[in-house]
A and B are shown apart, each in its own frame.
Chain A
Amino acid sequence: MTWYQKLTALQEPFDVGLDDNGRAQVSFNVMATKASSDTFLQELISLLVDGSVGEFAPADPDDRNIFVSSKDQIPAEGGPFLSLTATGGAAPVNIHNDINPPAYPRQTAQIIVRSPDFLDALGMAQAARAVFELRSKDVTP
Chain B
Amino acid sequence: MSENAISAQGTLIAVQELGVGEFFTLGELRDFTPPPLMRNPIETTAHNDIEEHFIVGIRRKGELQGQIGYRPSLESHARLVEAWRTGSRDIYRITYPDGPPGPDGARAYDDDGEPIGTQWLFSGFVTNVGPSAPVDDGLVADFTVRPTNTMTFIDAVEA
What is the interface of chain A, defined by CB distance below 8 A to chain B?
Answer: 5-6, 33, 93-97, 99-100, 103
Most A CB within 10 A of own CB, among B10, B25, B27, B104:
B10
Tell me, rounded to whole Å, the shortest Cβ–Cβ distance linking A61 to chain B.
Answer: 41
B27's contact among A33, A93, A94, A97, by CB below 8 Å, is which? A97
Tell me, rounded to whole Å, the shortest Cβ–Cβ distance linking A115 to chain B.
Answer: 32
How would residues 1 to 34 of chain B score, 1 for a CB under 8 Å from any chain A CB and 0 otherwise?
A: 0000000011110000000000001011110100
Main DSSP-derived SS at the B contact region = loop
Tell me, rounded to whole Å, the shortest Cβ–Cβ distance linking B26 to chain A.
Answer: 8
Report whether A99 and B138 are in contact in the complex, using a CB–CB cutoff of 8 Å: no
Main DSSP-derived SS at the A contact region = loop
What size tier do the contact residues of chain B reach?
10 to 19
Report whether B138 and A96 are in contact in the complex, using a CB–CB cutoff of 8 Å: no
How long is the Cα–Cα vector from A5 to B11 in the complex, in angstroms?
23
How long is the Cα–Cα vector from A76 to B104 in the complex, in angstroms?
47
Chain B residues whose CB sits within 8 angstroms of the CB of A33 once the complex forms: 138
Determine whether B79 belongs to the interface, using a CB cutoff of 8 Å to chain A: no
Given A94-B9, A97-B12, A97-B25, 19 additional A-B pairs, CB 8 A: A5-B138, A6-B138, A33-B138, A95-B29, A95-B30, A95-B69, A96-B9, A96-B10, A96-B11, A96-B12, A96-B29, A96-B32, A97-B27, A97-B28, A99-B107, A100-B104, A100-B105, A100-B106, A103-B28
